[in-house]
């Protein structure tokens, strides 16, 4: 029963008794929850967060700014001037209590975390755990979901919290990534600082139709005579390298990359 549950108030400073009682009144009236516990969180400098029935209500400065920036991001940038629209958004902006679901890690097996409490999570959605580790939702069940971890499972334990991001698995893209070394999530690992992306594109998306594609009319030479003479490849063409282990698949790919030097071809 909901009335037997406990709500948690996260903040850097403990609220006064009057503030505490006012929050409890709202909890009793709306959620039938009488017990409220304070949890000190030094990462919350201004405002507080309230966890109620697997939902997190964010009343921090960061949460308010996120709401405002979301409003501004939704503006139509194709307009000749967006300044009047921006002023209207700021003038009409009202802070709403935005809630987000919170899940709890039930168990972990072979790099997959099973989580309860995230009933609205979507397939291929990114989750964030207490430790900062991210994961990808791949298994949707009635009582729990399965999430593939992007890091070692030793950083996530049973009982940890998991929060939805609302983002489907994708990659940041843009010309700023050319010449940089990144991990599988698009984060720089070459020590040269952050990379400002131009777009964020989903990993799983429908390929453009034949009519929408550019024609394949320029050869892409691998530098391997047997392949170039018998299996000509065009720029923009999809080609699969398949074979048993230790048969030279990686060597073919690397030789092809090396052979593109000076040919204005970007290799990833």
Q: Over pLDDT 70: what percentage of the chain?
A: 83
Confidence (pLDDT) at 250: 93
Q: What is the mean pLDDT of residues 144-164?
A: 86
Does the reported pTM lie above 0.75?
Answer: no
Residue 84 inside a domain? The answer is yes
Residue 14 inside a domain? The answer is yes
Confidence (pLDDT) at 89: 46
Strand 35-40 versus strand 6-11 pairing type: parallel
In this structure, what CATH number is given to the domain that contains residue 150? 2.40.30.20
Helix axes 61-73, 83-92, angle to 10 degrees: 140
Does the pLDDT value for residue 247 go beyond 80?
yes
* Domain boundary, last residue among 45, 74, 92: 92
Under a CB-based contact definition with an 8 Å cutoff, are residues 37 and 9 in contact? yes
Under a CB-based contact definition with an 8 Å cutoff, are residues 198 and 228 in contact? no
The count of residues in the chain is 268
- If asked whether residues 133 and 83 sit together in one domain, one would say no
Confidence (pLDDT) at 147: 92
Q: Which domain holds residue 124?
A: 100-168
User: How sure is the predictor about 79, in pLDDT bands with cuts at 50, 70 and 90?
Assistant: very low
- If asked whether residues 11 and 66 sit together in one domain, one would say yes
Q: Which residues lie across from 58 on neighbouring strands?
A: 49
pLDDT in tens, 174-224: 999 999 999 877 889 999 999 998 888 888 888 888 888 888 888 999 999
Does the pLDDT value for residue 171 go beyond 60?
yes
Distances (CA, A) of 90 to 34, 66, 69, 73: 37, 13, 10, 12
Does the pLDDT value for residue 1 go beyond 80?
no
- If asked whether residues 127 and 141 sit together in one domain, one would say yes
Does the pLDDT value for residue 27 go beyond 70?
yes
Tokens representing 212?
Answer: 């929408």
Q: What is the mean pLDDT of residues 100-122?
A: 85
- If asked whether residues 81 and 144 sit together in one domain, one would say no
Name the average pLDDT for the chain: 80
- If asked whether residues 178 and 161 sit together in one domain, one would say no
Q: What is the mean pLDDT of residues 119-123?
A: 84
Q: Return d(Cα 217, Cα 234) in angstroms, integer.
A: 7
Confidence (pLDDT) at 203: 80
Residue 211 inside a domain? The answer is no
Half-sphere exposure of 113 (CA within 13 A, CB side): 35
Does the pLDDT value for residue 228 go beyond 60?
yes
Q: Which of 12-21, 31-40, 164-173, 181-190 has the highest mean pLDDT?
A: 181-190
Give the containing element (helix H, strand E) for 6. strand 6-11
Residue 234 inside a domain? The answer is yes
Residue 213 inside a domain? The answer is no
The candidate with the shortest Cα–Cα distance to 222, out of 209, 213, 234, is 234
Three-state secondary structure along 145-185?
A: EEEEECCCHHHCCCCCEEEEEEEECEEEECHHHCCCCECCC
Q: Return d(Cα 90, Cα 104) in angstroms, integer.
A: 36
- If asked whether residues 35 and 75 sit together in one domain, one would say yes
Tokens representing 15?
Answer: 């609220």
Confidence (pLDDT) at 95: 45
* Count of the separate structural domains present in the chain: 4
């Amino acid at each position: 029963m909901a009335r037997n549950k406990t709500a948690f108030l996260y903040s850097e400073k403990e609220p006064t008794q009057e503030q505490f009682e006012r929050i409890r009144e709202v909890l009793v009236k709306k959620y039938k929850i009488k017990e409220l516990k304070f949890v000190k969180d030094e990462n919350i400098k201004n405002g507080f967060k309230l966890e109620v029935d697997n939902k997190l209500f964010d009343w921090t400065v960061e949460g308010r700014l996120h709401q405002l920036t979301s409003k501004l991001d939704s503006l139509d940038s194709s307009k000749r001037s967006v300044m009047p629209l921006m002023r209207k958004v700021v003038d009409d902006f009202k802070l709403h209590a935005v809630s987000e679901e919170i899940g709890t890690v039930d168990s972990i097996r072979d790099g997959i975390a099973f989580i309860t409490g995230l009933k609205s999570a979507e397939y291929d959605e990114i989750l964030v755990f207490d430790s900062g580790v991210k994961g990808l939702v791949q298994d949707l069940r009635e009582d729990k979901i399965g999430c593939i971890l992007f890091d070692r499972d030793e950083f996530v334990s049973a009982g940890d919290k998991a929060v939805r991001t609302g983002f489907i698995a994708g990659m940041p893209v843009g010309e700023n990534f050319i010449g940089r070394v990144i991990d599988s999530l698009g984060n720089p690992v070459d020590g040269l600082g952050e990379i400002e992306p131009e777009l964020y594109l989903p990993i799983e998306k429908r390929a453009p139709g034949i009519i929408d594609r550019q024609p394949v009319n320029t050869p892409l030479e691998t530098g391997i005579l047997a392949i170039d003479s018998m299996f000509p490849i065009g720029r923009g063409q999809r080609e699969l390298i398949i074979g048993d282990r230790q048969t030279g698949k990686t060597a073919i790919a690397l030789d092809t990359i090396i052979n593109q030097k000076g040919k204005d071809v970007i290799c990833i």
